[in-house]
Structure 1
């Protein structure tokens, strides 16, 4: 199986080559997860179902209901749109007045485990 390869996120220019910065392998999958979780549902005109409603939770109270909605929406989006990973853990850390999604996953084609922490800003 070939390594996933594509433009880096956030988009930038490679200082060495002057071209578009590229990422591949586990870094590309991580970038794609960040894009998925940072995209508002309905934001992409040709792919309205891509993304999450996480951004709508920004002004909600810091309580168990909001934490559960955040966890559930992120988990469902990753399961639906990112088949290169298997979610092993989706929890919400509530500390310092912030909600943070902790997403643990393994790559579906190799034994590589990773974790992302996404703050709800």
Structure 2
């Protein structure tokens, strides 16, 4: 799939396009996209909560829900959320890039 880099405007494809797409899905608050009100994830609503066991489960579930619905090129196998600083969470993902069938890891997805 081809797309456009949101920072440079240049053409983007493959795993780099997938990472940009996943980042967009996970950082978009549900209800904020005009004409696509159900697009996004619940993650932006969760980032200010204390990072404990219950929140970790919510973060994992919200990530899995959003990616299952909006990103057909990626089969999620593992989610690891970590707090990098107050009000910020980094999401580390493992899964299968389905167009090639290869396992991949994606990190640096900041909320």
With normalisation by structure 2, the TM-score equals 0.84
Structure-2 separation of matches of 1:111 and 1:69: 28
Look up the match of 1:102: 92
Question: Which runs of 5 or more structure 2 residues have no equivalent in the other structure?
Answer: none
With normalisation by structure 1, the TM-score equals 0.78
Structure-1 separation of matches of 2:46 and 2:3: 30
Say if 1:85 and 1:108, in contact at 8 Å, map to a contact too. Answer: yes
Look up the match of 2:75: 86
Q: Secondary structure at the match of 1:60?
A: coil
Give RMSD over aligned pairs: 2.0
1:7 aligns with 2:4: yes
Q: Which has the higher contact order (CA 8 A, sep 6+)?
A: 2
Look up the match of 2:105: 115
Where does structure 1 differ by over 3 angstroms across 4 or more consecutive aligned residues?
93-100
Q: Secondary structure at the match of 2:63?
A: helix
Residues 31-40 or 99-108, more deviating: 99-108
Look up the match of 1:71: 60
Say if 1:86 and 1:106, in contact at 8 Å, map to a contact too. Answer: yes
Question: Which runs of 5 or more structure 1 residues have no equivalent in the other structure?
Answer: 13-19
Q: Secondary structure at the match of 1:100?
A: strand
Structure-2 separation of matches of 1:59 and 1:25: 32
> What do residues 54-92 of structure 1 show as CA deviations (whole Å, max 9, x unaligned)?
111122112111111111101110011100111111233
